[in-house]
Structure 1
Amino acid sequence: MTAQQMSSFASHDTGTLYLVPTPIGNLDDMTFRAVKTLKTVDLIAAEDTRNTQKLLNHFEIETKQISFHEHNTQARIPELLARLEQGESIAQVSDAGMPSISDPGKELVKAAIEAGIPVVPLPGANAALTALIASGIEPQPFMFYGFLPRKASEQKAALTALAEEPQAVIFYESPYRVAKTLTTIRDIFGERQAVLARELTKKFEEFIRGSLSELIDYASAGARGEFVIIVAPGEKKAKAPSDVPVATQVQTRIDAGARPNDAIKAVAKENGLKRQQVYNAFHGIQEES
């Protein structure tokens, strides 16, 4: 497979798919470019046309809309692609924030790319990053997960896989499940520092910082609003020493194709030993007391 190159701003025979972020609360966060794009495209593909119409009315945008949400994605894509291929430009928006980020969008983007149609992303509001930079938790590296599965067994499996990740993890959650979700996170991750960000960019924006247990107490009291949960990385745990002699561990790696020096270095790191100790053990060199 060869790499596919496409300049978003080069001349082309098709229309363009614009990915336009919308405010996550405060309408003043709408960018000039976003307003201009929504005014000049031929069509707006909206997650909820009723919700988007309020935004369009506020900015005096008269562009026509078409619904594009998780329940009609497959039926809509051929229609939208046909219009793009005929030269129309389409702006895709979700109810709030970035299209595709915990919202519809990725399927249309993939289909447009496969059809050779330019895709132009606009920068703008995003709840996860907005919360992260004000959280007080080390922002790099981080992992954005979004909404966890609702089914208890699937949620626990997802969290178990994330428990050892050496970075902050960002989740989205509704007010109806936030206390239960925080409890499950604590049960699997253990006690950690975390942050709840609620009603971002709105009048009652709030950050609640503390341990997971403290956040559970807060959420259990009847929290309102849409939440971003940011969980700090766990402390690195020292590995339990292996019952297998280090000389045997080195030989096993060598038998698998590793070079002796690389095998010695890896075993030393895994066992929390100095390289010279492992070298001496492997070569049967008696250490001086």
Structure 2
Amino acid sequence: MIILGATPIGNLGDASGRLREALQAAPVIAAEDTRTARQLLRALGIEAQPQLVALHEHNEAAAAEGLVARAHDEDVLVLTDAGMPTVSDPGYRLVQAAVAADVPVTCLPGPSAVLTALALSGLPTDRFAFDGFLPRKAGDRDRMLASVAREERTLVLFEAPHRLAESVEAIGRAMPGRAMAVCRELTKRFEEVRRGTPEELLPWARAGVKGEIVLVIAGAEPVLADEAAAVEQVLALRAGGMRLKDAAAEVAEATGHARNALYQAALAAGRG
């Protein structure tokens, strides 16, 4: 089968027992960087010497077919440099090819920069969206941020440290005053989380920041629907057979308007 193995994002102590067992047993390891994979094996004290095959963004499409063919007969363990394969890292095309060829795919859960940053951010975690790395070019970055400015879910993004100041400034233009967190060097010795608005964080970012960066941005406040339109929704549900009280409650939850106000307005409109 194909085995996706989550590797530490900084602290080697986060390597799971299942990952260690898989590293010891796997005959083939498809690695984003074979040198990094060898370093991980040595650091974890793994004595096995599996065959290491490169699987990165430049060769994944071509390599997937051969790896899937091998996985018919033996396990192929997939590793990226840090974190979960397929999440802003190679592995997605390989999984696609395995699914198409009816080759089993399993996952060894483990460290995740996305979830670690989200948990530490102090921002809502019940609904979130992950959008990978911010575009490198300023124009593309501005367009991307404009497209998600009204997203109501918490937004998680990756960024390179040398572009952090530019990105924080761009976030401030697209979402002025929005609460956010910059998470740096997660699980490592110099782990740091800075919280504030883009305007508050910009001077710190401009001073120069090192390490792996994850940005977490609060979602936009819901935009209330026009009250007259909300009342029309209540009346439509009532016409469909729903009790007026229940219809008002459902529309109130969806739009943010007060339930009693919708109920009274719909009641008056219905009498008219």
Name the TM tier (shorter chain): 0.7 to 0.9
**Residue 79 (str. 1) matches residue 60 (str. 2):** no
Moved more, 93-102 or 157-166: 157-166
Moved more, 275-284 or 164-173: 275-284
Aligned residue runs from structure 1 range 95-174, under 5 A: 95-174=81-160
Q: What is the alpha-carbon distance in structure 2 between the residues aligned to residue 47 and residue 65 of structure 1?
A: 10
Task: Say if 2:32 is the partner of 1:47.
Answer: yes
Structure 2 residue aligned with 1:3: none
Q: 1:239, CA displacement in angstroms?
A: 4.7
* Counterpart Cα distance in 2 of 1:30 and 1:179: 32
Runs of at least 5 residues in structure 1 that lack an aligned partner in the other structure? 1-15, 285-289
Who is 2:217 aligned against?
A: 231
Give, in whole Å, the separation in 1 of the partners of 2:12 and 2:190. 15
Name the aligned partner's letter for residue 183 of structure 1: E
Sequence identity of aligned pairs in percent?
38
SS at match of 2:3: strand
Question: CA contact under 8 A between 1:45 and 1:67: conserved in structure 2?
Answer: yes
More helix by share: 2
Other-structure match for 2:57: 70
- 2:173 maps to 187
Q: Structure 1 pair 184/240, CA: closer, same or farther in 2 (3 Å)?
A: farther
Q: What residue in structure 1 maps to residue 182 of structure 2?
A: 196
CA separation of 1:240 and 1:189: change in aligned 2, threshold 3 A:
farther
Q: CA deviation at 1:282?
A: 5.3
Bigger Cα displacement from structure 2, 272-281 vs 93-102: 272-281
**1:55-110 CA-partner distances (Å, limit 9, x unpaired):** 1222234212000001001110111111112x121000000011011101111111
Distance in 2 (alpha carbons) for counterparts of 1:82 and 1:238: 54
Q: Distance in 1 between matches of 2:219 and 2:114?
A: 16
The higher radius of gyration belongs to 1
Q: Does the C-alpha gap of structure 1 residues 129 and 117 become closer, same or farther in structure 2, counting only changes over 3 Å?
A: same
Deviation at 1:178, TM superposition (A): 1.2
Coordinate RMSD, CA, aligned = 2.7
Relative distance call for 1:270 and 1:82 in structure 2 (3 A) is: closer
Distance 1:55 1:165 in 2: 38
How many residues in Structure 1 have an aligned counterpart in Structure 2?
262
Deviations 1:27-54 (A, max 9, x none): 1211121011012111000001112111
Against the structure 1 CA distance between its residues 175 and 33, is the aligned structure 2 distance closer, same or farther, given a 3 Å change threshold?
Answer: same
Report whether the alignment pairs 1:276 with 2:264. yes
Once the two structures are overlaid, the 10-residue window that deviates more, 122-131 or 147-156, is: 147-156
Secondary structure of 1:92 counterpart? strand
* Deviation of 1:209 (Å): 1.4
For residues 262 and 62 of structure 2, the distance between their equivalents in structure 1, rounded to whole angstroms, comes to: 61
Of residues 240, 244, 250, the one that matches 1:259 is 240
SS at 1:177 equivalent: helix
CA contact under 8 A between 2:224 and 2:255: conserved in structure 1?
Answer: no
Deviation at 1:237, TM superposition (A): 4.1
Distance 2:135 2:175 in 1: 17
Distance 1:240 1:224 in 2: 46
- Counterpart of 2:77 in 1: which secondary structure? strand
SS across alignment from 1:229: strand
Matching of residues 19-58 of structure 1 within 5 Å? 19-58=4-43
1:17 is aligned to 2:2: yes
What secondary structure does 2:208 align onto?
coil
Q: Kindly provide the amino acid, as one letter, of the partner of residue 95 in structure 2.
A: V
